[in-house]
Every structure is written in C-alpha cells, then in structure tokens.
C-alpha cells in the first residue's frame, strides 16, 4: 500500500500527480527544484548524458540497415505464407506433439547461428510454446539438448539440420551421444 496520495502540485499545478511533500504540496520534480534549485535538474540531465556518452552507442538507438530491413521483410513474408499454407491444408499444429494451441514458428537452426537461414522455409517448423497440459512447449524443448529427442518430429528436424548445416548436425549428434542417446545417422541421411 502506497503512502503517497495523488493531488494537485502547488509547483507545476498538474492534477492527479503523486505528492511527495505534503507540507508544500509538491510532486517529486517540484520538490527537488525547491530543495536543490533549478540548476539541479539540468545538472542531473548533463550527468546522465555524460554517462551515456561513455557507453558505446548509448546516446542513440541504432537504426536497422537496409539489408536487415529487407531480410526482416522477407522473413515476415515467408512466415505469413507458411501460416496461410498450414491453415489451408489443415497442418497448422505443433509438429513436436500435435498441440493446436499456442503455436509459434520455430527455427531449427537458431537465427543467432545462421542469420542467412532466417527466411528459409525448410528451416522453420511449427512448435507450441506451451503444451496442452501446461508443461514446457516443444519450441523450448527443441532447443534443449536433453529433451529434443522426445519430439515427434526429431528425426525429420535432424535431417533438415544435416542438409542445411552439417557442422551443427554433427555437434548435436556428438552431444546427444554423450548424454547416452542412440542416434541413427543413417536414418537422417535417407530423409
């Protein structure tokens, strides 16, 4: 429960603002000016600007390059196309468990690893964010090395990873075998 009450500030005369000094009936900003003078706010702003200037790129928001904007637009178009196709042919469900709710397009090869595959249809599949029973969704399970083998589409996904990024495929196989999973690589080569 807040002890501050809303009211009209006697300094700036704004209504519905929290009053921090009841004796003078002032908001935080006006009370700060009363205590420290008008220069205090300007000095504080200057200190903030100075600290931001020490951080690389801290004073401005970097704009996306035209190349990145083109890539984002292409990804959006591919994503919308995949969703429309799946709805039209009745395959708009989680490939990992069959759930029809809380769906998301999941990249089989992370965007951070292969930015060039962001808008490649084959690198995307439908996975749920939350399973029907409320447990962790297949989207997160695909990214968890110990749970990815539980997905119905594991072998199909591994075949795609093998085609698109053989190095990542063998990294995953090595990690899975290290955890004791039996991985039949011939099954992935034939798909």
Q: Find out whether 139 and 128 touch, Cβ atoms under 8 Å.
A: yes
pLDDT value at 16 more than 90: no
Under DSSP, the state recorded for 106 is E
pLDDT value at position 1? Answer: 45
pLDDT at 46: 80
Token pair listed for 167:
């190095």
Mean pLDDT (the chain) is: 87
What are the domain boundaries of the chain?
A: 5-50, 66-189
- On the 0-12 / 13-18 / 19+ scale of CB atoms within 10 A, 47 is exposed
- Report d(CA 31, CA 116) in Å as an integer: 54
Q: Which two tokens stand for residue 29?
A: 């900003």
Calpha distance 113→121 (Å, rounded): 16
DSSP 101: S
Give percent above pLDDT 90 in the chain: 52
Q: Which residue shows structure tokens 């042919």? A: 89
Taking only the tens place, the pLDDT of each residue in 28-66 is 888 888 887 777 667 777 887 777 766 665 556 678 888
Do the Cβ atoms of 27 and 17 come closer than 8 Å? yes
Pairwise CA distance, residues 72 & 74, whole Å = 5
């Amino acid at each position: 429960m807040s002890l501050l009450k809303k009211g009209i500030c006697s300094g700036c005369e704004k209504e519905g603002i929290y009053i921090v000094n009841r004796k003078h009936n002032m908001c935080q900003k006006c009370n700060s000016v009363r205590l420290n003078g008008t220069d205090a706010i300007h000095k504080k702003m200057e200190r903030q600007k100075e600290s931001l200037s020490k951080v690389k790129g801290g004073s401005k928001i970097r704009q996306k390059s035209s190349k990145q904007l083109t890539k984002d637009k292409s990804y959006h178009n591919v994503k919308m196309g995949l969703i429309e196709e799946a709805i039209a042919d009745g395959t708009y469900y989680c490939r990992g468990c069959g759930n029809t709710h809380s769906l998301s397009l999941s990249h089989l090869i992370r965007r951070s690893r292969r930015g060039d595959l962001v808008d490649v249809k084959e690198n995307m599949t439908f996975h749920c964010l939350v399973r029907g029973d409320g447990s962790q969704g297949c989207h997160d399970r695909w990214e968890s090395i110990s749970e990815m083998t539980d997905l119905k589409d594991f072998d199909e996904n591994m075949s795609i990873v093998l085609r698109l990024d053989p190095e990542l495929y063998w990294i995953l196989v090595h990690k899975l075998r290290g955890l004791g999973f039996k991985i039949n690589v011939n099954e992935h080569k034939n798909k």
